[in-house]
Amino acid sequence: MITEFGHFALILAVVVALFQTVVPLWGALTNEPRLMATAKPAAIFQLVLLVVAFLALTHAYVVSDFSVKNVASNSHSTKPLIYKISGVWGNHEGSMLLWVLILATFGAAVAVFGRNLPESLRANVLSVQASIALAFGIFILATSNPFTRLAAPPMDGRGLNPILQDPALAFHPPFLYAGYVGFSIAFSFAVAALIDGRTDAAWARWVRPWTLAAWMFLTLGIAMGSWWAYYELGWGGWWFWDPVENASFMPWLAGTALLHSALVMEKRETLKVWTILLAILTFSLSLMGTFLVRSGVLTSVHAFAVDPERGVAILMIMVLFVGGALTLFAARAGELRQGGLFSPISREGALVFNNVILTTATATVLVGTLYPLLLEGLTGAKISVGPPFFNMTFIPLMIPLLIAMPFGPFLAWKRGDVAAVAQRLLAAALIGLLAMVATMALSERGPWLAPVMMAIGVYVMVGAVQELAFRAKVGKADREEVMRRLWNLPRSVYGTALAHFGIGMMVIGIVGTSAYQTERVLVMKPGDTTQIAGYSLTFKGVAPNRGPNYREQIGTIAVERNGHPLTTLQPSKRIYDSPPQPTSEAGIHASWRGDLYTVLGDAQKEDGGFAFRLYFNPLVRFIWLGALVMFIGGGISLSDRRLRVGAPRKSRGKGPSPAMAPAE
Amino acid sequence: MILWVAFAIAAAAVIAAVARPMLATRVSSVDPQQADLAIYRDQLAEIDADLDRGLINPLEAESARVELARRLLKTTDASRQTGKASENDQDAATPSGPITPTQIAYATAAVIPLLTLAIYLNVGSPNLPGMPLSARMQTDPGKASVEQLIAKVEAQLRETPQDGRGWDAIAPVYLRIRRFKDAANAFSQAIRLEGETPKRLRGFAEATVMANNGIVAEPAKKAYARILSLQPGDSESRFWLALADEQEGKITAAGAAYRSLLAQAPDDAPWKRIVESRLKAMEGDSGDASNKVSQPQTEKQLSQPKLPGPTQQDIAAAQKLSKADQKAFINSMVDRLAGKLKDDPQDFEGWLRLVRAYTVLGRKEDASKALATARKNVDNDTTKQARLDALANELGLGT
């Protein structure tokens, strides 16, 4: 009964989406406020109904109601509760339901928080948003209904893929979707502006915070996925340039560009047309990611929906929205007013530079991801575009971007002075060089580029701190004044500094672990001792254990450093009951220096030894800590609700001092 | 009934919410120009606030205000250009066009429930009650299916894995429904917790043999040996141990064991015929290497249900026939296989079976011929070639 009510609620939500697509838009076109006003209750009720549907499905999972086909195919009565819940979105049908639920959440948020939006803009935005929900709602009901019932239910379900039974992965999809789908708001605003043929002041103010929220979630979602791959797949790697990873990385790159161009637009009301195009492209990449992952075009852990029919349906949705939006753009973009002017050397100029590089990088990843697919489709030849391609194209693009990054926040709006900024960043560059020398001294091997990248990472981090120090007049004012200034700095300044600092941390982590990883593969018998990266590891033995829904062999390794016992690691191999599939759980000792990463292999027949793979991944923690810092930076910036105006500095001669901070 | 009431309430709530603004007599609307002006006013206030907090200096504040003023002017300019249009819009705020909002509200009230219901009746299952697992577990045991009972016991055993009697109860059931691996595990748990009895050991051994496709492997052999130590002279155990010897190529030992079994067998022993036929096959061409590996045909075919071979009915029929008829029957089956392979020469496993079958029947020439044909069919596949070579060696067919 609860399940059936959830099913009804889902259908009702789709019908409401149909209403919300048609009526408010009609109202906006005929300028009828009473029709436009329906958008708000419709958006709120659409969300309420989808929440009901989602809770009903979750209920079916929790009580193991195997008369629901989706539950029978993807759950198992012995699973721990958290994986019964995460199993709801651990499959195609349930994850599509989560997709539209998040879509509706963003729509309802616009309806509720968008009080000061002009009537017609709000109606148009919510109409476009609802049309996306409608398309995916029809898709769900027609091809992937999670509420399909079985009259003769089996006694137990088929279980969730064991490698998906993991805490990081339980929350990876919701964050990732919040990111993907969050960009739909920017998309809806862009299309609404095109429908209206004009952009209001409110329009400029709204796009950035929504983009920022989506970007935050996507950052964390991608980082969680990468962290999961790192400790669960047992290869000691954290990023594989796998097409599915790229599918989430491309919207992130485009979204980062959008975030920066939206910044220009909010403060200076310029770059509007470009921002609209980026908004359309970013969400298109999100849709493409969904298509690539869901269509079975790519096979991977994510391809639990290998079904050509669904692939075609998503492709059609994608063509409809991307094609429609771009056509509208071509027709209407010319009518949009352009904003203020700026010189190439200015904050705007720096942000445009950022945009150019980020969009080029997006295109690079796009080519690397799609080219093999196209080639296979056209000629049948299977080629693999692996890390070498991305290393050769992506890294050279990132170097100038990273070098330019600390310059941006220092430059004034409208026209800046690059020489003065360079002078200020000299200290950061010097500390970076110092880091390079230290890296070269500490490492006896590794590619020549690694110390250089290390220097860049440190320079980016120091540059971010320096910007705060500069604004607080550290060294120029007395201590009290500095503290007062630091306290009064707008939160968005802290947000920028943190996000840029996080990027620097990430660069250091990536370089450290990619260039200086140590790896050993060996067979150890109980009692054997081996050395890696200054640690001494003694293999104590292997013992069987029984978990809630798996059996496992746990290896015990005592770790010593400099003769002192440090920790005990327990890498294990699991076999799940249903489906009977093996997984390996790495034993990891994490420290700031790096991670000691141990994987238990197979037992050797002859001598009772076990195969082991041991890794030392220097500085690898910094990758995810960097992402977390970026997420926090985004949150702080988002909490800054001021209405901002980017003021150009008066021409230089008139200013009281060349070190004057640009207005925030 | 409650379900339909709930549906009705949900639909009514939605209709009421979306229809309300359409039926309203007056709607307060924000003029876009006014909205823009409001935002610029807010921004001006914000600049003053920043100035107060010392975030920007008066000069910066001044230039920010100039920037705002520039935007404000642009907005009013634009509104003056489109002023005519917007005046028309103001008039249009009163009911306009061929369809009024009130009519749309009524249409909505009809379309939303009808469309939802139409879709739901197509895809929903309103008559199917929810079936949470815990509720299903509590059904009357008399009415429950075997599957349900097994699931119940399994759930209980997961809770109390030390319950030996539970394992004891479920083990024979597993064996009967051919879940051999589970059966072997359950028997061994029962033995561990409740102690060895011939019955449990026998069950364990049988389950292990069946799980291993009829091969009497080490764990099963140990179990039969234990039974013999508990029940000296147990003929079933002796038969299986003899079969194990035969499968391992200890022909002499196997032969002696079979013979002593036969000597002590009561006349009505059901296994007597099988032992006789095993013995006959071994003696028929003793010294021939081919016997080393031959398994009892019925055993092998029973336990390899995946390969297309004789059906269970075939075997049951074969067991009822006299010996001469049996031979004829087996020959006819082999010929049937040969015929099938003529039609489908790519069936590699089929060829392996045919060669083996010919050898067992003593038709060595046919076996060699079949082997040669099989070789021709796989000329490029080295792994298959290697398997054929191994088979030829094993059966002593030469090349």
Say yes or no for a CB contact (<8 Å) between B17 and A642. no
Contact indicator for A110, A126 with CB cutoff of 8 Å? yes
pLDDT for residue A115 = 74
The two structure tokens encoding residue A553: 């062999």
Identity of the residue numbered A172: H
Residues of A in Cβ contact (< 8 Å) with B133: 63-66, 77, 156
Taking residues A625-650, what's their average pLDDT? 77
What single DSSP character describes residue A653? G
Output the CA–CA distances (angstroms, integers) from residue A243 to A247, A253, A367, A393, B17, in the order listed: 6, 15, 11, 16, 44
- Rounded Cα distance between A98 and B128, Å, is 25
- Best probe of the B interface among A21, A22, A32, by most B CBs < 10 A, is A32
CB proximity list for B186: less than 8 A, separation 6 or greater = B167, B170, B171, B174
pLDDT for residue A306 = 54
In chain A, which residue's Cα lies nearest the Cα of B108?
A19
Taking residues A619-646, what's their average pLDDT? 84
Least trusted range by pLDDT, from A33-42, A429-438, A649-658, B174-183: A649-658
Strand A610-618 versus strand A518-524 pairing type = antiparallel
- Rounded Cα distance between A33 and A15, Å, is 22
Q: Which helix (H) or strand (E) holds A250?
A: helix A243-268
Q: With 60 as the cut, is the pLDDT of residue A634 above it?
A: yes
More confident residue, A287 or A164: A287
With H, G, I as helix, E, B as strand and everything else as coil, classify residue B217. Answer: coil
Say yes or no for a CB contact (<8 Å) between B64 and A489. no
The two structure tokens encoding residue A622: 């910094």
**A348 in reach of chain B (CB within 8 A):** no
CB proximity list for A7: less than 8 A, separation 6 or greater = A53, A56, A145, A147, B120, B123, B124
Closest CA to A1 of B128, B134, B119: B128
- Best probe of the B interface among A49, A63, A645, A650, by most B CBs < 10 A, is A645
**A66 in reach of chain B (CB within 8 A):** yes
The two structure tokens encoding residue A465: 């701190």
What single DSSP character describes residue B193? H
Q: For tokens 């049937």, what's the residue?
A: B336
Q: With 60 as the cut, is the pLDDT of residue A46 above it?
A: yes
Say yes or no for a CB contact (<8 Å) between B3 and A4. yes
- Rounded Cα distance between A109 and A180, Å, is 16
pLDDT band for A231, please (50, 70, 90 cuts): confident
Residues of A in Cβ contact (< 8 Å) with B7: 5, 8
Residues of B in Cβ contact (< 8 Å) with A480: none
Q: With 50 as the cut, is the pLDDT of residue A662 above it?
A: no
**A284 in reach of chain B (CB within 8 A):** no
With H, G, I as helix, E, B as strand and everything else as coil, classify residue B396. Answer: coil
Q: What are phi and psi of A518, to 5 degrees?
A: -110, 140
Residues 475-494 of A with CB under 8 A from B: 484-485, 488-490
Say yes or no for a CB contact (<8 Å) between B119 and A23. no
- Rounded Cα distance between B292 and B286, Å, is 9
Residues of A in Cβ contact (< 8 Å) with B43: 643-645
Q: Which helix (H) or strand (E) holds A544?
A: strand A535-546
- Rounded Cα distance between A353 and A200, Å, is 26
The two structure tokens encoding residue B250: 């200890």
**A643 in reach of chain B (CB within 8 A):** yes
Q: For tokens 């996080």, what's the residue?
A: A502
Contact indicator for B372, B378 with CB cutoff of 8 Å? no
Peptide bond between residue A579 and the one before it cis (omega within 30 degrees of 0):
yes
Strand A518-524 versus strand A572-576 pairing type = unpaired
- Rounded Cα distance between A63 and A71, Å, is 10
Residues 87-126 of A with CB under 8 A from B: 116-121
Percent of chain A with pLDDT over 70: 92
Least trusted range by pLDDT, from A20-24, B15-19, B206-210: B206-210
Least trusted range by pLDDT, from B70-79, B88-97, B294-303: B294-303
Closest CA to A616 of A504, A475, A501, A512: A512
Residues of B in Cβ contact (< 8 Å) with A64: 132-134
Identity of the residue numbered A140: I
Query: How many Å lie between the alpha carbon of A13 and the closest alpha carbon of chain B?
Result: 9
**A64 in reach of chain B (CB within 8 A):** yes
**A646 in reach of chain B (CB within 8 A):** yes
Furthest CA-CA distance within chain B: 119
- Average pLDDT score over chain A: 85
Say yes or no for a CB contact (<8 Å) between B131 and A117. no
Minimal Cβ distance to A141: which of B31, B119, B133:
B119
- Best probe of the B interface among A3, A22, A30, A38, by most B CBs < 10 A, is A38
Q: Express each pLDDT in A422-431 by its tens digit.
A: 888 888 899 9
Minimal Cβ distance to A38: which of B10, B21, B70:
B21
Minimal Cβ distance to B60: which of A15, A147, A663:
A663
pLDDT for residue B316 = 58
Helices (H), chain B: 2-23, 32-53, 58-81, 83-92, 101-123, 133-137, 146-159, 164-176, 180-194, 198-211, 218-230, 235-247, 251-264, 272-284, 297-303, 312-320, 323-343, 348-361, 364-377, 382-395
Least trusted range by pLDDT, from A166-180, A190-204, B273-287, B292-306: B292-306
Q: For tokens 């250091």, what's the residue?
A: A508
What single DSSP character describes residue A333? G
| Concatenated DSSP letters of A338-390 | P-----SSSHHHHHHHHHHHHHHHHHHHHHHHHHHHHHHHHH-------HHHH
- Rounded Cα distance between A118 and A183, Å, is 21
The two structure tokens encoding residue B315: 């075997």
**A547 in reach of chain B (CB within 8 A):** no
- Best probe of the A interface among B3, B119, B154, by most A CBs < 10 A, is B119
**A640 in reach of chain B (CB within 8 A):** no
pLDDT for residue A7 = 95
Strand A582-585 versus strand A587-590 pairing type = unpaired
More confident residue, B314 or A586: A586
The two structure tokens encoding residue B168: 């004891």
Q: Express each pLDDT in B22-55 by its tens digit.
A: 888 765 655 666 767 777 777 777 777 777 766 6
Residues of B in Cβ contact (< 8 Å) with A45: 13-14, 17-18
Q: H/E/C letters for each residue in B223-260? A: HHHHHHHHCCCCHHHHHHHHHHHHHCCCHHHHHHHHHH
Q: For tokens 């028929």, what's the residue?
A: B284
Residues of A in Cβ contact (< 8 Å) with B56: 647, 661, 663-664
pLDDT for residue A152 = 76
- Rounded Cα distance between A625 and A507, Å, is 11
Q: With 80 as the cut, is the pLDDT of residue A141 above it?
A: yes
Minimal Cβ distance to A32: which of B54, B101, B130:
B101
Minimal Cβ distance to B18: which of A8, A38, A117:
A38
Identity of the residue numbered A25: L
Residues of B in Cβ contact (< 8 Å) with A34: 21-22, 24, 27, 101
pLDDT for residue A661 = 38
pLDDT band for B305, please (50, 70, 90 cuts): very low
Q: For tokens 């139409």, what's the residue?
A: B118
With H, G, I as helix, E, B as strand and everything else as coil, classify residue A19. Answer: helix
- Best probe of the B interface among A643, A649, A652, by most B CBs < 10 A, is A643
Strand A518-524 versus strand A535-546 pairing type = unpaired
Query: How far, rounded to the nearest angstrom, does the alpha carbon of residue A586 sit from its chain's CA centroid?
Result: 24
Q: What are phi and psi of A100, to 5 degrees?
A: -70, -30
Residues of B in Cβ contact (< 8 Å) with A116: 30, 35, 38-39
Minimal Cβ distance to A4: which of B35, B68, B125:
B125
Query: How far, rounded to the nearest angstrom, does the alpha carbon of residue A92 sit from its chain's CA centroid?
Result: 20
More confident residue, A628 or B292: A628
Instruction: Kindly tell me the sign of the dihedral angle through the C-alpha atoms of B388, B393, B398, B399.
Output: positive
For the range A576-579, what are the long-range contacts, defined as Cβ-Cβ under 8 Å and sequence gap of 24 or more? A576/A159, A576/A162, A576/A165, A576/A549, A576/A550, A577/A76, A577/A78, A577/A159, A577/A549, A577/A550, A577/A551, A578/A76, A578/A78, A578/A156, A578/A157, A578/A158, A578/A159, A578/A549, A579/A158, A579/A159, A579/A161, A579/A162
Instruction: Kindly tell me the sign of the dihedral angle through the C-alpha atoms of B245, B249, B251, B255.
Output: positive
Query: How many Å lie between the alpha carbon of B124 and the closest alpha carbon of chain A?
Result: 7
pLDDT for residue B85 = 45
Least trusted range by pLDDT, from A140-149, A342-351, A556-565: A342-351
pTM: 0.74
More confident residue, A476 or A217: A217
Minimal Cβ distance to A642: which of B46, B74, B104:
B46
Output the CA–CA distances (angstroms, integers) from residue B358 to A13, A518, B179, B354, in the order listed: 69, 59, 33, 6
- Rounded Cα distance between A663 and B8, Å, is 57
| Concatenated DSSP letters of A117-146 | S-HHHHHHHHHHHHHHHHHHHHHHHHH--T
pLDDT for residue A645 = 55
pLDDT band for B144, please (50, 70, 90 cuts): low
Chain A with chain B: Cβ pairs closer than 8 A: 225
CB proximity list for A221: less than 8 A, separation 6 or greater = A172, A173, A174, A175, A176, A177, A178, A179, A248
Residues of B in Cβ contact (< 8 Å) with A337: 74, 78
Q: H/E/C letters for each residue in A220-235? A: HHHHHHHHHHHHHCCC
Minimal Cβ distance to A201: which of B39, B132, B133:
B39
Q: Express each pLDDT in A373-420 by its tens digit.
A: 777 777 767 777 778 888 888 889 999 999 999 998 888 777 778 888
Taking residues A162-168, what's their average pLDDT? 77
Query: How many Å lie between the alpha carbon of A131 and the closest alpha carbon of chain B?
Result: 16
